[in-house]
Amino acid sequence: MKDFCWLALEASTDVLSIALGRAGQVWSHESPGGAHASREGLATVQALLAQAGIPLAAVRAIAFGRGPGAFTGLRTACAMAQGLAWGANVPVLPIDTLAVLAESTQSLQTPAPHHVLAVLDARMQQVYAAAYTRGADGVWQAQAPVQVVSPEALVPPAHWQGQAWCLAGNADAAYGLAERLHPPVSLHTPPRAEALLRLAPAAWAAGLAVPAEAALPLYVRDKVALTTAERQAAAAGGA
């Protein structure tokens, strides 16, 4: 499986990250996400395929960060994965964004973090969070289901006490999580497509590949924004 070609799409935050990998070689791209992702994503994929000299039909599977994360980015990445997979008749690998975030820390810290509390800003004074431990086989094990909570309610797993762990993601800047949680390591990084490439073989071996039409985002929270009344109530409470 290491010689297979994988395409990875990640747009769960304000960063569009795309990577193509085969036999240890990686071709990658990062640029602003959001609305830019829908305009530039497909052209970027085509450019990477051309650069690598690989036809889309030769890709073993298309992996994408399925969420949770920014609603627009999740829908964009899912739609791109579905469209490309449908056209090339290849399967899709939907992979949890927070697991991708945990894997993204591995190239940023020496030694690489063994325990990662992956946290993304969910807006509306909430965060998406999941705790992961990397097993001896290199596979990340979720310590609890993905959750959406207030920043104040976020805590690392109790059994991590006394062990080195890493806080990762984009939520610290918005909510000052490191100041409250005092993690041994805090890495401000988005989930990256190169990490998706590294997770793809294990996800494939675990049977997580689905046909294009079955690939769906994982929202966790269905609500996109506060109502006017809720914003006014929050403002009054703050005052």
| pTM metric for this prediction | 0.90
| Distance, CA of 213 to chain centre | 21
Domains and CATH numbers, the chain: 5-96+191-224 (3.30.420.40), 99-187 (3.30.420.40)
Q: Which tens digits make up the pLDDT trace of 163-189?
A: 999 999 999 989 999 999 999 999 999
Position 233 pLDDT exceeds 60: no
| Per-residue model confidence as pLDDT tens digits over 84-95 | 999 999 999 999
Question: Cis ω on the peptide bond leading into residue 184 (within 30° of 0)?
Answer: no
16-36 pLDDT, tens per residue? 999 999 999 999 999 998 777
Give the Cα separation of 237 and 151 in Å (integer). Answer: 17
Contact of 171 with 121, CB cutoff 8 Å: yes
Angle, helices 97-104 vs 193-205, to 10°: value is 120
Chain-centre distance for alpha carbon 16: 11
